[in-house]
Amino acid sequence: MPTNHSKMNIREKIFNVIEPESGHHHSKFFDIFIMTLIILSVLGVILESFEPLRLEYADAFYQFEKWSVIIFTIEYILRLLTADLLHKNMSIVGAFFKVFISFYGLIDLVAILPFYLPLFVAMDLRFVRILRLLRLFRVMKLTRYNHSMTVVIQVLKDKRPELGITAFVMFILMLLSSSLMYYSEHEAQPEVFPNIVSAFWWAITTLTTVGYGDVYPITALGKTVASFMSLLGILVIALPTGILSSAFFNMTHKKKHIDFCPHCGKDIHQEAQT
């Protein structure tokens, strides 16, 4: 009968294999395997959208999807079972829920959920199609194995307060602009601006400087409001852009920082090794 010590050794070995940051040599092969499976799975979703391919290779698509989900499910369960090895300062239950509600945990859950739900719950076909579309979110699983995406996520976490303030300002401006446009254009275009909520579409496309041109003002007052809101839109877009670009620069600069000799400009560490 295996002891608790041997069980712990097995769990540690599993953790070292499935955790990208463990540095274990088997982990690299596992990472490559999972990344390849993710890419092939997303490619399968794309190819399945071609009706001739879907009709001719329906069984092959289903079998590949089934075995992919089985592998993703095993990976997901193993990550939950070894959660306390990732969060060593927490209890087993606390670590379990920490991983379960984490960003990567939710991504892993979304990657497998669309396959299982229709098997156990009767659903409308339209909702099933939406669930199947969620399979594309598997590409987000690559963020666990990709350093660039890790940097993006870290920047978004670090700048969450600033981005939250920016989002609030954008919402206030959209509410204000849609309200002004409603009162300016409702009488002239009641079918285009029937209420303030409908005017939100115009506000979003204008403040984000997209401007599809499907909805636009025709009165002098409406055009005046639109002109000011278009100028404000440039400032609104510049706020999060400046915050994120500054954060990316600072983070990449820290990661790439190398000590150079102020006199000769050579890498001090490299010169010390030689």
Write down the pLDDT at residue 78. 93
User: What is the rounded average pLDDT of the residues 105-114?
Assistant: 87
| Neighbouring C-beta atoms of residue 114, cutoff 10 Å | 20
User: What is the rounded average pLDDT of the residues 229-258?
Assistant: 79
Q: Return the higher-pLDDT residue of 273 and 133.
A: 133
Rounded Cα–Cα distance for residues 85 and 64 (Å): 32
Residue 100 pLDDT grade (very low, low, confident, very high; cuts 50, 70, 90): very high
Write down the pLDDT at residue 235. 82
What are the domain boundaries of the chain?
Answer: 4-145, 160-259
User: What is the rounded average pLDDT of the residues 21-34?
Assistant: 78
Q: Return the higher-pLDDT residue of 258 and 248.
A: 248
Taking only the tens place, the pLDDT of each residue in 247-256 is 888 877 766 5
SS3 136: helix
- Residue 225, both tokens: 């409001």
Query: End-to-end alpha-carbon separation of the chain, Å?
Result: 55
Instruction: Work out the percent of the chain whose per-residue pLDDT is above 90.
Output: 26
Instruction: Determine the CATH number of domain 4-145.
Output: 1.20.120.350
Nearest to 131 by CA among 147, 150, 117, 146: 117
CATH architecture of the domain with range 160-259: Orthogonal Bundle (1.10)
User: What is the rounded average pLDDT of the residues 76-88?
Assistant: 90
Write down the pLDDT at residue 270. 45
Taking only the tens place, the pLDDT of each residue in 188-224 is 999 999 999 989 999 998 888 887 888 889 999 999 9
User: What is the rounded average pLDDT of the residues 34-54?
Assistant: 88
Write down the pLDDT at residue 23. 64
Using only C-alpha atoms, the chain has a radius of gyration, in whole angstroms, of 26
For residue 272, is pLDDT > 50? no
On whether the CB atoms of residues 83 and 99 are closer than 8 A, the answer is yes
